[in-house]
Amino acid sequence: MKKNRILALLLSAAVVAAAVGGCAEEPAESSSTGGSSETTSSESGSTGDNGDKVKLEFFYQKNDTPQIMAIVDAFNASQDKIEVELNLVSTDTGKQIFQTRLATDDPMDLLQHWAIQVEFRLACSENRIVDLTGEDWTGNLYDNYKELSSVDGKLYSLPLAINTTGMTYNVDMFEENGWKVPTTWDELISLCDTIQASGMTPITFSNKDKDSISQKFYFLSIAAADGTWNPEEFYVGIVDGSGKNVRDNDYTKQIAERLIKINEYAQTDSLGCSYDQSCSDFANEKTPMLFNGTWTQASIDGYNPDLNYAWFPLPGLDGVTKVPFSIDCSIAAMSGTGHEEEAKEFIAFAAQPENAQLYIDIDGQPCGVKDVTVKNQRVATLVEYLNKGDSIKMYGDYFPAGARNDIDNACQNLIMNKDTEAFMDEWQRIMTSD
């Protein structure tokens, strides 16, 4: 099957990366409660100078650290037997470094990752990741996030923080102009027409980045998941070879048409606008809406910390709306370190609501742990949908690099050429190619 070939290629790539040695970038400077220090694999699971403390390496691939350090600091202060040290690596190079260390049998004690990534799921299936099924804290997870963190019915990670998406909007501009938050697609289009007629550009799009355009297609697809159209099933079919003819139903074409339509309300230079520029433009109130996810908060706040903004869900087809989600911060433990139990102890600590709250208070995104209050009112509406199960997982990370590049190109061509028939033909080629 296609899936097996993909997994074999991933493993081969990891072996090649290990063989060439110096090709992988070195991890960035690590952070720890004891001050900045380089955390190396030789230190992982070691006994430090401070007695019998076991030092655990926490391989962390996100560029923002204050939220995770709040938990690390609290854990380290809570006992005197274990010390967790953060090994901060670049998001851009973390995947490669992870694969190399898998191939060279050099596991880290704790691993922050994105649960849906093929590389992580392969490691789970090969028993390289500690099985957390049945741990006491697992009953306090929302089912949809638990499912996303599982492989073959076994739980392998703690879904700590959740990212999601919708339409970001300027609350003050909406109130000043008497604009109502739309709940249907027709209402959204009518609102855009009203804003455009006033002389304003309704939405900021970052169409310079091809993957940003394909994300928008995914998001529109997810919003349209209504039981008849299941985007998860559809796109996973690209990976495992189970895909069906794209013309079996009309939903793919409808979603393509929606992407074309919504881009009519973007700024005229959207194809030259990067992700960072789109955050800046929205933050500086050049448009009242930004089509992107909750992960933009740090960038928006960096440009304008006083901006009053929030999200509303993208309206789906036929009055059915679902909110996309993925795990923004998952924590797992690797096998073969000799300190699996200590790593599980840290994960159990992070899974307690009062400790997960430390992360969410800083991060501002939804949480996979129950009884954690998301105080960030910007995402309140999205959280309501997520927690009641009106959601579906993002699936882009299922794709191997080649398929993802083809999808990105197809979506960009759709925006430029507005040719839905050519887009459908390209989707069919992607679905059926090896």
* Tens-place pLDDT, residues 57-101: 999 988 778 899 999 999 999 999 999 999 998 777 888 898 899
**What's the pLDDT at 189?**
96
The most confident of 7-11, 187-191, 401-405, by mean pLDDT: 187-191
Examine the pLDDT at 232 and tell me if it is beyond 80.
no
pLDDT tens digit sequence for 1-46: 444 433 433 333 333 333 333 333 333 333 333 333 334 333 445 5
**What's the pLDDT at 16?**
31
| C-alpha distance across the termini of the chain, in Å | 9
**What's the pLDDT at 114?**
80
Domain-wise residue ranges, the chain:
2-162+326-393, 165-324+395-432
Q: Which fold would CATH assign to domain 165-324+395-432?
A: D-Maltodextrin-Binding Protein; domain 2 (3.40.190)
Is the distance from CB of 316 to CB of 385 less than 8 angstroms?
A: no
Of 310, 315, 264, whose CA–CA distance to 290 is shortest? 310
**What's the pLDDT at 229?**
60
**What's the pLDDT at 419?**
94
Class of domain 2-162+326-393: alpha beta
**What's the pLDDT at 2?**
44
| Token code pair at residue 115 | 């649960």
Answer with the residue of higher pLDDT: 250 or 168. Answer: 168
Identical topology for domains 2-162+326-393 and 165-324+395-432: yes
Confidence label for 372 from pLDDT (cuts 50, 70 and 90): very high
User: Distance between CA atoms of 74 and 38, rounded to whole angstroms?
Assistant: 21
**What's the pLDDT at 42?**
34
**What's the pLDDT at 15?**
31
pLDDT tens digit sequence for 130-140: 999 999 999 99
Answer with the residue of higher pLDDT: 330 or 231. Answer: 330
